Structure 1
Amino acid sequence: MGQMNMLSRCFYYGIISRSSSTNAPAQLFRGKNWIQQKVKFDNLPKQELSTNVIVFSFDKNSSDKNSIYATDKNFQNTLDNAMKLVYNEKMIAFNEEEATNKFNAWKKLRDYIYSQLHDSDLNNVSKVFKPTLTEYFLSSSPSNLLVKLQNINKIENVVWMKLKEHKLINFDQYNQNITELQKYVYLISNAFDHVYDKDILIKQKPPYDSLQENNKISTILNPAEWFPEARKMRRNIIMHLGPTNSGKTYRALQKLKSAEVGYYAGPLRLLAREVYDRFKTEGLRCNLLTGEEIIEDLSEIGTPAGITSGTIEMVSMSKTFDVVVLDEIQMLADNDRGWAWTNALLGVKAKEVHLCGEKSALPVIKKIVESTGDNLIVHEYDRLGNLIVEKSPMNNDFKGLRKGDCVIAFSKKKILDLKLTVERETKLKVGVIYGSLPPETRVQQARLFNNGEYDVLVASDAVGMGLNLAIDRVIFTTDLKFNGKELQELTSSNIKQIGGRAGRYKHNDSSNEVAIGKVTSFHGDVLTTIRKGMEAPIEYIESATIWPTDEICIRLMTRFAPSTSLSDILELIALQLAQNSNNLYKLSELRNKLTAIKIFEDMEDIPFVEKLKLSNAPIKDVPLVKKAFAYFCETIGKRQTKTLLSYDLPFDIVKYSCIPQEKYNLEMYEALYNIVTLFCWLGNRYPNYFVDLEAAKRLRITIELIIFEKLDRLRKNPYEHNLHMRKLKVPRQKKWLWS
């Protein structure tokens, strides 16, 4: 605790929201006592651990000498008296087991308080704490109890009086005022209940001895058994392996065209749309199915087409197909989204499952297919064209850029800086592509580049997947990329995926000319790294990312106390699955899912099954988007019917007159775009709650046009202020217009 920096402490005390991780024991699922856990006390003084003597005060020698408990006599006395009252109220028990559990809860509560008293920065953290009613009263976690107590007078008295009216707080009927001691007792009592439910009772669930229960546990820990209907089939798994521009997906799609019932599963909505448009152009009936958009190709009698192009997350596990194509199969190792590829590979009911991707996925696919009992067929392809790494770097010479070049950078700020610099120093017109741009805007930028209206493209690694680009030369500005925690050198797989976009082959090209792509850099040391990466042997994927299905989570929910949170269950599953699969599977990154879960987890009106569904919502970690998602979840909980414009969100800036105004920056419109996309995603799942999707889609188109126009008219980088803000550690949302 003493080694935590100030920002980490703010996360720890709940001042800045961040998903936390539960330290569940490694043997949780093993043996008949898999659910029982020993309560740990990491901060209690030795004398309290070794005896059963009850004390209400806290040892000043076991806390920081500058803690509020050691320096503020009033705080010390109030806390001690409150602890005594809580003990007398809570420790009533009707049997020996209950008495033991409550005594452990008491010690664990004191353990939490000692952990905070040890913290030398507790007072500084408390000063910047600005409590909301939700943080104060809906969350009873003891990890920030002392911070709440120090700020108890920041909550207006009218709120405490409401608690009194509803008899949620103990008070003296002859005294109309609520004392500070009563407030302390209320918060500490809630913290005790939280510890008793979450740290004690859950860990003392009785063991399961029956063979039936052991079989259930075995099923939970074997992802291949999550999909029993698929296991009843002996499927043909056909792999199409090769580098970028080898025609592997083209060949798989030819097989899909001949199927009566089939599905193309792509990594991106824009790629699913591209396949859909291609099939329609060729006169083939095809549906489109993505998280935000559903288009059914209906016959005269209302029968939908047998073939569907969609995103990987939307492929059905219950429908029977003739052919399913899973594109970019190497994505099954991705920490965030890889579960969708792995679950589809394990669970789709299809006679033929065609996997398109890099050869790096072959070993892990072989192991998975061996566990499922399916038949594996492998086809390998060579690149259709040549790829050359240039001998010399460009030495930061922007005037050396030429039509058909694609410059690679890894941040929005850098990409927009490069666009402005290249256009200023040359006569070239520059387009941009980066991940948070709306997919339609990315397609539009790509189309203008392919048509020659843009001479040069400046892009992130978003060009490495899902866009057909007529790039002659790829130019790396760096060999480092921020992975969310630190700068990390590009892997050879990253380099090959991006560099392979140069000299891209087109199947509709009638000429016999061999495509030649070139790869280079502005810097000599970066070019050395790129050359090594392009020439490096294949880095084989060692494990596949997995995520438990809703059915598995529901089955597990019955094994826990009713008060167990969804995030606790997911963290426990996450800990165990990888350990029980011989490293064949790893669990999806919890951080992003928990960002969404924390928003609705305490909303009691939303059933557990619905919370599972909402955990997969496409929500970006942006303050305004999370605010909107909270509104949407409240709508679901209250069973309301609303249009997008019913919410208090800044859609008043979605007008063309705002385009020239720099205060309405790209980040604002990207956030609004994500909100509309999120609304459409929910509308497809809750059509009775979120209505008038057509109006929402029209609004999204307008936002896309505004983003495109702002990019086209760009004269100053709108993200320059972010670097300064990061240095100051100022929360970005405070600078936003609608804060």
Structure 2
Amino acid sequence: MRGHRSLLMYTCRGLLRHFSRAYHSKKNSLRIFEDNRWLVQKPSLTNIPPQEKFRIDAIGFLFDHNAPKNVYTTDETFKDLLDKSMQHVHNHKVTASFVGQENYRGYAWLKLRDYIYGQLKDGSLQKRINEYRVSLAQLIKPSHPEHVVPQLLRVDDYDSNAWQTILKTKEVSKWNKYVYLLSQTYDYIYEQEVLPLMMKTKKTDGSDDVDISNPVEWFAEARKMKRHIIMHIGPTNSGKTYRALQQLKNANRGYYAGPLRLLAREIYDRFQKEGVRCNLLTGEEVIHDLDTAGNPAGLTSGTVEMVPLTQNFDVVVLDEIQMMADFDRGWAWSNALLGARAREVHICGEKSTLPLIKNIIKMTGDKLTVNEYERLGKLKVEDWVLPKGYKSLRKGDCIVAFSKKRILDLKLRIEKETNLRVAVIYGSLPPETRIQQAHLFNTGEYDIMVASDAIGMGLNLSIDRVIFTTDVKFNGKELVELSSSNIKQIGGRAGRFKSGSQGHDIPQGFITTFDPHVLSTIRRGMEAPIEYLRSAVIWPTDEICGNIITKFPPGTPPSVLLKAIALRLEKNSHKLFTMSDLKNKLNVLAIFEHMDDITFFDKLRLSNAPVKDLPLVRSAFAQFCDTIAKGQTRGLLSYPFPFEVLDYKCITDEKFSLELYESLYNIIMLYFWLGNRYPSYFIDYESATDLRYFCELIIFEKLDRLKKNPYNKGGSQSLGSTYKQRSRFLNQHTKKRS
């Protein structure tokens, strides 16, 4: 009887799903990818004047009297050359276009003009022109429309012989150079940016059946399992992760997924000390704990991005689950929650995730158990700010700031004005250096910790008192006030409970500031009700992206695909999921996307590389990608990077900055990251490991011997700079409101 009932329920669910899909398809809501008309889109035009957005007959460029002066408005020769060559391109590419392609070619024309308008409006155009160095490859086949104006203005960088070969004529003038570059750039835009968006392709292999509108359905194997999701929720210092790890230890096959490499390493080291066999798996480091027969351990500690969603586990632990709302990395937590193939999935984090997780579990059909914990210790926001500024500091204090300039400035000032030794932690420090600094603070060798919000996760610190220097931080675009979640996460690090403590040893943590206004904000944040998460950030797997690319014309750049998917997912009416921010991924793609010898799937993989936005790092990554494109085998020392500065003599030489060594460290770790994915191309790990240790040593020693702030080019900051920063923030937001 039970079997018949199950079969009937399964059949009814199938019918309901069928009718639901048909209904939503008509309403154009969730099933946005079932009809391939979603591919037919118009290119975005952001710089062209509104009155010209539908005029494919416009030739010259118009600027109102409020627009800044530019080379087009001040250089009559350039203006005349550009107008005449654009007229020629229009006549030959747009007016004489094939029947049925007028719209496509017209949009390519408008997109070319949009690129030129954007560059002419750029206030730093002259600097870009001066710094631009055109390669011969870009001269022959331009593929960067965003550089077309500097390229036009630097056409004479190559001699007439080169141009005669390119143009296949002995009559070379500036005009026919302009015509050639603009025609080639137009063709690139037409073929690579317009057609892939606007041309609907036919079914060939069933790929049109790809539906990515419902992330729950991306992981079919996980949906076949009856999983048990066990939530461990509570404030910082409530022991939630500790309890989840006890379950992991008893599993035959399990995975700990942490937010940071150093946290994954900490769990790995802890298990090893306790005699629990465990592997380590991060983007840059893989360690197999092998037995005498060569079999790896059943447990693995790693970063959340590395969770193997194609393997079966008994237990998976997802730490800091509230990170699923992070617009940059949140997709990794969301995908792991939806796709982990485990009988038990233990998720640890803040209570703010509870309603969202409940709604997601309703969709997946899994069983949910919620364990809520209280803080192991007391926490108090003090009534008064520090009365004597830095003179009021005491051993065990942690001062929080939000930029490395400010952090290093605080270190120098505190050590100058007091007898206290100061350790520092900020995001771009190597994880090993952060661990060293934390150890010096925890053991009492250093008295004070000055840190960014990097202390909010991943490090055990014996902090008695957290001191906020400000209540605003820069989010990459503007100054924003700290959220109550930020304040609770950071402030909760005070009075950390130590395992083995008895009841009377329960610690008391304190929170205060230097500024009464900041103290008011911090108090409100600590007392504020929980801000519940509303959505989880998602992004399709590379396999799904690979299926969708078959809908596009061959040779479509990955960036075009990603933007197209993003545009459609933004219109998804399902409120539980939010689109991932593609800014970082597209910035990385721009480094190597033009390299034709790198496959589409390799480009998707490389777009996830941890590339810091520093000139030396981006240049190094471009060289690494060139190695992949050419299929070469190279050791790290074969590249022309300035590793000669990894010398003890450079430690006291202030012309070799911390930023240089942070860049070199990132380059070395990129080499390890690539070596794990392309082991036949990137070899000689021994040399890379030695360079990494030297780099970590020099960064540590430079911090220890710091005499002046290498990031403070405008003079030193005082305590009053915090008040000025906050005043600017308040003034900006007052103006916005008015």
TM over 0.5: yes
Q: Which residue of structure 1 lines up, in the alignment, with residue 154 of structure 2?
A: 151
- Indicate yes or no: 2:307 matched with 1:305: no
Q: Which amino acid aligns with 2:85?
A: A
Task: Normalising by structure 1, report the TM-score.
Answer: 0.86
Which sections of structure 2, spanning at least 5 residues, go unmatched? 1-29, 717-738
Q: Is the 8 A contact 2:36 2:200 kept in 1?
A: no
Counterpart position of 1:732 = none
> What is residue 385 of structure 1 aligned with on the other side?
377
Per-residue CA deviation, residues 489-537 of structure 1 (Å, 9 max, x unaligned), is 1111111111111110122446751111111111111111111111111
Q: Residue 377 of structure 1: SS of its match in structure 2? A: strand
Aligned-partner Cα distance in 2 for 1:644–1:62: 52
Q: Which residue of 1 aligns with 2:664?
A: 672
**How far apart, in 2, do the equivalents of 1:60 and 1:344 lie?**
51
* Distance (Å, rounded) in 2 between the aligned partners of 1:44 and 1:392: 55
Provide the rounded CA distance (Å) in 2 between the counterparts of 1:640 and 1:342.
36
Using structure 2 for the length normalisation, give the TM-score: 0.86
Give the distance between the partners of 2:298 and 2:63, measured in 1 at CA: 73
Give distance in 1, aligned partners of 2:391 and 2:63.
68
Which position in structure 2 is the counterpart of 1:97?
A: 100
- Match of residue 41 from structure 2: 37
Q: Structure 2 vs 1, CA of residues 178 and 28 (structure 1 numbering), >3 Å: closer, same or farther?
A: farther
Measure the CA separation in 2 of the matches of 1:111 and 1:463. Answer: 44
**2:18 maps to which residue?**
none
Hey, what's the Cα distance between the residues in 1 that align with 2:122 and 2:414? 50
- Aligned to 2:505, what secondary structure does the other structure show? coil
Deviates more, 1:89-98 or 1:635-644: 89-98
Relative to structure 1, the CA distance from residue 399 to residue 121 in structure 2 (aligned partners, 3 Å threshold; closer, same or farther) is closer
Aligned to 2:191: 197
User: Is 1:473–1:519's contact at 8 Å kept on the other side of the alignment?
Assistant: yes
Q: Does 1:533 align with 2:563?
A: no
Q: Using the alignment, how far apart are the partners of 2:190 and 2:248 within structure 1?
A: 56
Aligned to 1:695: 687
Structure 2: distance between partners of 1:273 and 1:330? 21
Verify the 8 A CA contact 1:138 1:602 in the aligned structure 2. no
Range moving further from structure 2, 193-202 or 255-264 = 193-202
Match of 1:131 among 130, 133, 147: 133
Q: Does 1:343 align with 2:346?
A: no
SS of structure 2 residue aligned to 1:717: coil
Report the aligned-residue RMSD. Answer: 3.0
Q: Paired residue for 1:245?
A: 237
Aligned to 1:18: none
Rounded Cα–Cα distance in structure 2 between residues aligned with 1:331 and 1:39 = 33
Q: Partner residue of 2:167?
A: 170
**Counterparts in 2 of 1:138 and 1:388: CA distance versus 1, 3 Å:** farther
For the residues of structure 2 that align with 1:47 and 1:315, how far apart are their CA atoms?
49
8 Å contact kept, 1:395–1:523: no
**Counterpart mapping for 1:137-286 below 5 A:** 139-153=142-156, 155-157=157-159, 161-162=161-162, 164-165=164-165, 169-172=166-169, 175=170, 178-206=172-200, 215-216=209-210, 219-286=211-278
Counterpart of 2:19?
none
State percent identity of aligned pairs.
55
Query: What's the counterpart of residue 617 of structure 1?
Result: 609
Per the alignment, residue 452 of structure 1 pairs with 444
The answer to whether the Cα contact below 8 Å between 2:231 and 2:371 also exists between their aligned partners in 1 is: yes
Tell whether the 8 Å contact from 1:93 to 1:99 is kept in structure 2 after alignment. no
1:469 deviation in Å? 0.8
Structure 1 residues 575, 67: closer, same or farther in 2, change over 3 A? same
Deviations 1:418-459 (A, max 9, x none): 111111221111111111111011111111111110111111
Cα distance, 1:61 vs structure 2? 8.9
Residue 132 of structure 1 aligns to which amino acid in structure 2?
A: V
Could you say if the C-alpha distance between residues 156 and 383 of structure 1 is closer, same or farther in structure 2, counting changes exceeding 3 Å? same
Paired letter, 1:180 = K
- Alpha-carbon separation, structure 2, partners of 1:595 and 1:114: 22
| Alignment of structure 1 residues 411-422 onto 2, 5 Å | 411-422=403-414
Offset of 1:95 from its aligned partner?
5.5
- The residue identity in structure 2 corresponding to 1:149 is L
For residues 402-413 of structure 1, what are the structure 2 equivalents within 5 Å? 402-413=394-405
2:515 aligns with 523
Match of 2:429, SS state, is coil
SS of 1:264's partner is strand
Q: Distance in 2 between matches of 1:378 and 1:414?
A: 41
Deviation at 1:224, TM superposition (A): 1.3
* Contact persistence 2:236–2:375 (CA under 8 A): yes
Aligned residues of 1:395 and 1:524 also touching (Cα < 8 A): no
SS at match of 1:96: coil
- Alpha-carbon shift at residue 65 of structure 1 (Å): 11
In 1, Cα distance between equivalents of 2:90 and 2:122: 27
How much does 1:130 deviate?
A: 2.8
- Aligned equivalents of 2:643 and 2:251: distance in 1? 44
Judge conservation of contact 1:404–1:472 (CA < 8 Å) in 2.
yes
Q: Label 1:540 to 1:511 Cα distance change in 2 as closer, same or farther (>3 A).
A: closer
Aligned CA distance change for structure 1 residues 440 and 510 (closer, same or farther; 3 Å): farther
| Structure 1 position 585 matched with structure 2 position 588 | no
d(CA) in 2 for partners of 1:320, 1:476: 44
SS in 1 for 2:585: helix
8 Å Cα contact 1:259-1:323 kept in structure 2: yes
Which stretch has the larger CA shift, 509-518 or 587-596? 509-518
Q: Residue 410 of structure 1: CA displacement?
A: 1.1
Matched, 1:294 2:286: yes
**TM superposition shift of 1:255:** 0.4
- The Cα shift of 1:275 comes to 0.8
Contact 1:504–1:515 (Cα < 8 Å) also in 2: yes
Give secondary structure in 2 for the equivalent of 1:288.
Answer: strand
Aligned counterpart, 2:735: none
Counterpart CA distance in 2 for 1:192 and 1:341 is: 41
Q: Cα offset for 1:202?
A: 2.3
Aligned partners of 1:506 and 1:491: how far apart in 2? 28
Residues 131-151 of structure 1: CA deviation (Å, up to 9, x unaligned):
332766654454553443233
- Mapping of residues 509-588 of structure 1, within 5 Å: 509=501, 512-588=504-580
CA offset digits 1:635-673 (Å, max 9, x no partner):
111111111111010100001111111111211111111
Change (3 A) 1:47 1:298: closer
Secondary structure of the residue that 1:97 maps to in structure 2?
Answer: coil
Distance in 2 of aligned mates of 1:450 and 1:621? 32
Q: Give 1:613 shift.
A: 0.7
Report which stretch shifted further, 510-519 or 611-620.
Answer: 510-519
Distance in 2, Cα, partners of 1:690 & 1:210: 37
